[in-house]
Structure 1
Amino acid sequence: MKEGLKSSLLNKIKVTDKFWRGYQELVMNTVIPYQKKILNDEIPGVEKSHALANFRIAAGLEEGEFYGMVFQDSDVAKWLEGVAYALEVRPDAELEERADKVIEIIEKAQQDDGYLNTFFTIKEPEHRWQNLQECHELYCAGHMMEAAAAYYEVTGKDRLLHVMERMAEHIGKRFGTEEGKEPGIPGHQEIELGLLRLYEVTGKENYKDLARYFIEQRGKDPDYFVKERKKRGWVHFDMDVHNREYNQVHATVYEQKEAVGHSVRAVYMYTAMAELASLYKDEKLYQACCDLWENMTQKRMYITGGIGSTVDGEAFTIDYDLPNDTVYAETCASIGLVFFARKMLDNVIDGRYADVMERALYNGIISGMQLDGKRFFYVNPLETEPGVSGKLYGYKHVLPERPGWYTCACCPPNVVRLLMSLGKYLWSETEEGVYSHIPAGTEAHFDKMDVTVESNYPWDGRVTYHITGKTEEETILGIHIPSWVRPGSVQVRINGKEKNITADVEKGYLILKRVWENDEVELVFPMKIRKIYTNLKVREDAGCVAFMRGPIVYCFEGVDNPGLLQSYHIFEDAKMEEEVCKEGLLEGCVLLKIKARKLETVGDSLYSDIAPVRTLTTLTAVPYYTWGNRGENQMRVWMRGE
């Protein structure tokens, strides 16, 4: 970060632990260069992107036609944002130069009035701003604003920032409730987040106010998109304008009580709501967020932190409808869930938000990327079956192996930008002190203290905080105690002396307030294997059991467990053991060995009055995020119990 820029958490926190730093190194060394080649159509055998070529064509630098989805620009934006965060983690002059050249092309593609969108510049200039429901102009603008803010924040270079400030001015002149403006709203929420990021790095109130307009205008006219289609007389995707819940326009944000519609649209909107609630100290808006949070996380979220249970609209359905083998659980949706959780923590430091953030980060997000960083899941199932998953009607979206790229490639660069900005999700800094949300290894330099965290989380529950105070005032160090830790089981030592923390835990955080000098706080979380049961209203998982150890959800794959996974039953009192994998793709992971009963059919009849033969065996469970890296085979999270 350059001198004179507003300080942010991004430049205060460095991730050092083996788990997350390993992911960041993978992204910097492999994923970012690989994705740049894909965006430039240099990788054979994967879906064509053409995203960078679209910008070159729009800039007049080459001849050609637009190719890709109407929101193809957003892939470049998210890649650039990820690059910005990568430059904060590890400066790289060559990577920065490549990014600068991309930004130069983007600047040249901007129209004289500030408008920026390659689809409408190249292909349908006469249709600009006529189809907010389907055509993602505001969505693409929001992502490019986030990229511009990140790049400025890290490098101090304002070229892209000025481009997107011009676009924001263009948008502000066009949309609003004032006379002569269109009371429009985005079909896919994201512009709100982009505007708020511009506000964060510039301090310009008009960006915050415009974001609030887009949030508060939503749902005031549930028929806005119906009227828009009638007025324009043409369609792009031919979306159902009468499904008002799909875009969350069925009610104002204050009236929405259930998580409905397209899951990514929803959590992006909820994130903006939560940030606005924090910025404006708006208790009513925060309460609206709480209502949506409660419904989503307690009735419509998978054990992995996945959300959006149906392919039909990539959407939420109803309470407790959480199928495993036809699930959607888009990677972007879990990323959006983390965004939402983190902004809720800006309103209230409450462990329920950190718990969900941890669940999604260690499970439903990193499962979206192959361990080598070159293949990606859009959909994250909890059960797959060779010959069914990815092939039969109703299951074609549930792929048993990760593809190299997608026609709609929103998820891969989204993973990049989250992983490279991870530090700001691990900590919060307030006037009272600092709060550790996830006990990952970090080096953090805050205003009132420096903190170094030694950790081998999530495999080991021993975490040590080394604190160097910078003030003579009493300051809070808050440490999240995950909800999976049984009350009274965590051990705490301060400067070597054991401490009873019962009275010091508030809303899931150990609150330590003192004048910090050179101190050490050691916590030991018991990392026992836990059997997890679902609410019986989840019909698919009634009578089943899943396994967790620490924050990690486990699954079973056919490659480790011969035969049919549905033929195994777990004893109620099954013996469970741990084993550290010492070689291969899963080296360093803690595996589970679980005693079970295997059923085998007698004969080949479809139906029989002869009971299956039962034998004793031992199953192997692997971390869910690692599944699908060893060829196509069966996979299950939830196993039948006895």
Structure 2
Amino acid sequence: MHHPSHIAPVLRAIPHTAVTIADRFWTPRLENNRRRSLFQQYHYLNETGVLANFRNVHQPWDGIYHGLFFSDSDAYKWLEAAGYSLATHPDPRLRRLTDELIRLIAAAQMADGYLNTYFQLVEPEKRFTNFGVCHELYTAGHLIEAGVVHFQATGRPDLLNVARRLADLLTRTFGPGKLEAVDGHAGVELALIRLHRLTGAAAYLDLAAFFINARGRSDSRLRLELAQLERIAGRPGKPGQNNRKHFGSYEAYDGRYAQDHLPVREQSEAVGHAVRATYLYCAMADLAQETGDSALLEALRRIWRHVTARRLYVSGGIGPSRANEGFTRDYDLPNDTACAESCAAVGMVFWNHRMLQLTGEGRFADLMERVLYNAFLAGVSLDGGKYFYNNPLQSQGDCHRREWDECACCPPNIARLLASLGGYIYSLSPGGLAVHLYIQSSVTARLAGGAEFTLRQTGDYPWEGRISLALELAEPADFELRLRLPGWCRSHQLRINGIPADPPLAEGYLVIARRWSPGDSLLLELAMPAERVQAHPRVWQNAQKVALQRGPLLYCLEAADHAVPVEQILLPENAPLTGSFYPDLCGGVVALEGEALAPSLENWADRLYRFAEPAVALRPVRLRAVPYYCWDNREPGAMTVWIPRLNP
């Protein structure tokens, strides 16, 4: 293993089981997820044959494999989401479904530990031959993650035992001098590290390190497969043997799609498939944390700077192209054809959360928050029943959420993040507690010195910037509180027990180190005006346009609120925008309103073009912007995030 120089994580995340959320904004979403989404998703796993695949392994099979190569992974992600939910909200009905599914999965496992229903049913003799597109290791990773979470939630080892038997098969099969391969879809690496953390078994960490370090070799296994397409798996299945589409040819191998183009410590740019990229970066961060390898962290910092400076949507979404579900070139950020997959938003939250623990730097929490409230949250309908696969920033009204897709990776991915949301709010710092997200909640923390205290956070974020924090402790204690000052906030005020305070700012956090007494309280006020945001001039799609933002929320214009087509609305530079709360709009939101202009359409009858006139005839129109996550929850219609600006 590489040990160029040592790093140690700065923060330690507090698990979701230690946090109680009671928040006007998030609680309804978490309730929908727990009471509706999880049961609806289970229904579709059953309805679409995903569960039948497991049954068919040990009963007469009709020859029909249901879904894609990797459909098992949707069941595993669902189990992980259910595990997080059961850990905080025991539910006999949900527990019964998880127990049934675990029995089904365990019964399908082979004697040697192998488990993948596609290969067991369709191509049993070709397992571990097509890593480029068949997702065997990715699917195994999701089983391992589900096993860890289910065990932590219930204390029962039944799913964990299945996961370990499969992981043990992987450690016997892969590694130096054995089968030397990487997976076309990262995911098993971070799963193996989670398993290592739970069990202490070094073999899992070693294998994760092998998979990470094997990327970018000139004799890549993914390249070799291109010369053996006749002999490897994938042809009879769905989505088919599309190795060439993604990786080129043996002679002209292009590993970027799977981040297999360079050794990981030499990578500086985000390339290829966006979800694969973020899962690999998560694994690199986890490996850096376990081994103290600073070269991994340096590579991640370079890649993060590249993403955020050149390849990130204003929503926090990533991946502009639907052709590779990923990255293209710098500043290429089309709005209407954006991929910005919901799973990639989930991956961005995972990755930035890990970077935050490693470094303690608020910019990672800023991006985590931007993604959570925008790119991620847009992926699920307000009622928790429908999902976007792609998240465009402009639509003609023909893009809608669906209850399920054949490629159903997004619904259970959204569910597992929502069910574990409490784990992203707080961390222990060496000197005390860091508050990353302003979500109304309480957390009980035990400090290194043994003192225990409870912090209660109240407020009406993201609609208002007033956050109250109250401390409950048995006796006075010395520790620090770190309160994130969001990157979007231009002015703030802090009071401690009613007295103005001006603590130092470090890495984006207000650091308040003092002796705290029972009943101490803090009031943080973040200014939250409506702001206009502009894009780098090289993003040609957004030239001479602005997006609207208030607090952490990105806004958009929807046809439902306007008498003129939204793409014709022009926003004067000096037009004031006011925010008002509407309890009956999209579940209760602050909408932004103001006077805008639209071109007069007189004298355009039957004409597509005409000579330009010195002054375009404009007429006043009312503008109403709603949070981007709300779009497509009312009657279908056009939507746009970017609005042409009009200089006075």
Query: What TM-score bracket applies, with the shorter chain setting the length?
Result: over 0.9
**Cα separation, 1, equivalents of 2:429 and 2:505:** 18
1:84 corresponds in structure 2 to 83
Change (3 A) 1:61 1:297: farther
Q: Counterpart of 1:202 in structure 2: which amino acid?
A: T
**Cα separation, 2, equivalents of 1:472 and 1:169:** 49
2:266 corresponds in structure 1 to 255
Q: Which of 2, 7, 17 matches 1:11?
A: 17
**Cα separation, 2, equivalents of 1:433 and 1:64:** 59
Residue 222 of structure 1 deviates from its aligned partner by: 5.7
1:29 aligns with 2:31: no
1:496 corresponds in structure 2 to 498
Residue 566 of structure 1 deviates from its aligned partner by: 2.2
Q: Is the 8 A contact 1:222 1:251 kept in 2?
A: no
Residue 472 of structure 1 deviates from its aligned partner by: 6.2
**Cα separation, 1, equivalents of 2:496 and 2:102:** 49
**Cα separation, 1, equivalents of 2:516 and 2:473:** 5
Q: Is the 8 A contact 1:221 1:249 kept in 2?
A: no
Residue 88 of structure 1 deviates from its aligned partner by: 2.0
**Cα separation, 2, equivalents of 1:347 and 1:411:** 27
1:360 corresponds in structure 2 to 371
1:552 aligns with 2:553: yes
Identity among equivalent positions (%) equals 37
1:517 aligns with 2:517: yes
2:483 corresponds in structure 1 to 479
- Runs (5+) with no aligned partner, structure 1: 1-5, 42-48, 390-399
2:597 corresponds in structure 1 to 597
Q: Which of 268, 279, 288 matches 1:277?
A: 288
Counterpart mapping for 1:230-241 below 5 A: 230-231=227-228, 233=230, 234=232, 235=234, 236-240=240-244, 241=247
Change (3 A) 1:139 1:453: same
Q: Is the 8 A contact 2:14 2:428 kept in 1?
A: no
1:528 corresponds in structure 2 to 529
TM-score relative to the length of structure 1: 0.92
1:543 aligns with 2:554: no
Q: Secondary structure of 1:91's partner?
A: coil
**Cα separation, 2, equivalents of 1:306 and 1:159:** 37
**Cα separation, 2, equivalents of 1:308 and 1:413:** 20
**Cα separation, 2, equivalents of 1:480 and 1:447:** 20
Residue 329 of structure 1 deviates from its aligned partner by: 0.3
1:311 aligns with 2:326: no
Q: Which of 171, 192, 202 matches 2:189?
A: 192
Residue 478 of structure 1 deviates from its aligned partner by: 0.9
**Cα separation, 2, equivalents of 1:286 and 1:471:** 39
Residue 574 of structure 1 deviates from its aligned partner by: 0.8
Q: Over residues 295-326 of structure 1, what are the superposed CA-to-partner deviations in whole Å (9 max), with x where a residue is unaligned?
A: 01121000001000011111101111111011
Q: Over residues 465-514 of structure 1, what are the superposed CA-to-partner deviations in whole Å (9 max), with x where a residue is unaligned?
A: 1122468653221111101111xx2111111111123xx11010011122
Q: Is the 8 A contact 2:226 2:243 kept in 1?
A: no
**Cα separation, 2, equivalents of 1:8 and 1:160:** 24
Counterpart mapping for 1:316-465 below 5 A: 316-386=327-397, 389=398, 400-448=399-447, 449-465=453-469
Q: Secondary structure of 2:189's partner?
A: helix
Structure 1 window deviating more from structure 2 (84-93 vs 56-65): it is 56-65
Q: Secondary structure of 1:116's partner?
A: coil
TM-score relative to the length of structure 2: 0.92
Q: Relative contact order (alpha carbons < 8 A, sep ≥ 6): 1 or 2 greater?
A: 2
Residue 101 of structure 1 deviates from its aligned partner by: 1.2
Q: Is the 8 A contact 1:65 1:122 kept in 2?
A: no
1:505 aligns with 2:509: no
Residue 10 of structure 1 deviates from its aligned partner by: 2.5
Which ranges of 4 or more aligned residues in structure 1 deviate by more than 4 Å? 61-64, 470-473
Q: Is the 8 A contact 1:136 1:188 kept in 2?
A: yes
**Cα separation, 2, equivalents of 1:302 and 1:457:** 23
1:631 aligns with 2:628: no
**Cα separation, 2, equivalents of 1:470 and 1:360:** 37
Q: Over residues 335-389 of structure 1, what are the superposed CA-to-partner deviations in whole Å (9 max), with x where a residue is unaligned?
A: 1001000000121111110010000000001101111211110000000114xx5
Q: Secondary structure of 1:445's partner?
A: strand
Residue 547 of structure 1 deviates from its aligned partner by: 0.4
Residue 582 of structure 1 deviates from its aligned partner by: 2.7
Q: Counterpart of 2:75 in structure 1: which amino acid?
A: V
Structure 1 window deviating more from structure 2 (439-448 vs 301-310): it is 439-448
Q: Which of 223, 227, 240 matches 2:224?
A: 227
Q: Is the 8 A contact 1:130 1:232 kept in 2?
A: no
Q: Which of 285, 290, 293 matches 2:301?
A: 290
Q: Is the 8 A contact 1:469 1:515 kept in 2?
A: no
Q: Counterpart of 1:188 in structure 2: which amino acid?
A: H
Residue 91 of structure 1 deviates from its aligned partner by: 1.1
Residue 8 of structure 1 deviates from its aligned partner by: 6.0
Q: Is the 8 A contact 2:13 2:424 kept in 1?
A: no
Q: Is the 8 A contact 2:181 2:222 kept in 1?
A: no
Q: Secondary structure of 2:264's partner?
A: coil
**Cα separation, 2, equivalents of 1:304 and 1:626:** 13
**Cα separation, 1, equivalents of 2:184 and 2:264:** 15
Residue 283 of structure 1 deviates from its aligned partner by: 1.2
Counterpart mapping for 1:70-109 below 5 A: 70-109=69-108
Structure 1 window deviating more from structure 2 (255-264 vs 464-473): it is 464-473
**Cα separation, 2, equivalents of 1:222 and 1:407:** 34
**Cα separation, 1, equivalents of 2:350 and 2:60:** 36
**Cα separation, 2, equivalents of 1:61 and 1:85:** 34
**Cα separation, 1, equivalents of 2:129 and 2:392:** 37
Structure 1 window deviating more from structure 2 (225-234 vs 188-197): it is 225-234
**Cα separation, 2, equivalents of 1:372 and 1:556:** 21
- Runs (5+) with no aligned partner, structure 2: 1-11, 235-239, 248-252, 448-452
**Cα separation, 2, equivalents of 1:275 and 1:463:** 32
**Cα separation, 2, equivalents of 1:19 and 1:173:** 47
Q: Is the 8 A contact 2:257 2:271 kept in 1?
A: yes
Across the aligned residues of Structure 1 and Structure 2, the Cα RMSD in angstroms comes to: 1.7
Residue 603 of structure 1 deviates from its aligned partner by: 2.5
Residue 63 of structure 1 deviates from its aligned partner by: 5.8
Q: Secondary structure of 1:245's partner?
A: helix
Q: Is the 8 A contact 1:139 1:191 kept in 2?
A: yes
Change (3 A) 1:148 1:569: same
Residue 110 of structure 1 deviates from its aligned partner by: 0.5
**Cα separation, 1, equivalents of 2:554 and 2:576:** 18
Q: Secondary structure of 2:257's partner?
A: coil
Q: Counterpart of 2:204 in structure 1: which amino acid?
A: Y
Q: Secondary structure of 2:132's partner?
A: coil
Q: Counterpart of 1:284 in structure 2: which amino acid?
A: A
Change (3 A) 1:622 1:188: same
1:640 aligns with 2:644: yes
1:392 corresponds in structure 2 to none
Q: Secondary structure of 2:208's partner?
A: helix
**Cα separation, 1, equivalents of 2:200 and 2:425:** 24
Residue 238 of structure 1 deviates from its aligned partner by: 2.0
Q: Counterpart of 1:616 in structure 2: which amino acid?
A: P
Residue 423 of structure 1 deviates from its aligned partner by: 1.0
Q: Over residues 151-188 of structure 1, what are the superposed CA-to-partner deviations in whole Å (9 max), with x where a residue is unaligned?
A: 111111111001101100000111101x3x11111110
Q: Is the 8 A contact 1:222 1:244 kept in 2?
A: no
2:9 corresponds in structure 1 to none
Q: Over residues 115-156 of structure 1, what are the superposed CA-to-partner deviations in whole Å (9 max), with x where a residue is unaligned?
A: 011101111101110111111010001011111111111111
1:126 corresponds in structure 2 to 125
Structure 1 window deviating more from structure 2 (210-219 vs 603-612): it is 603-612
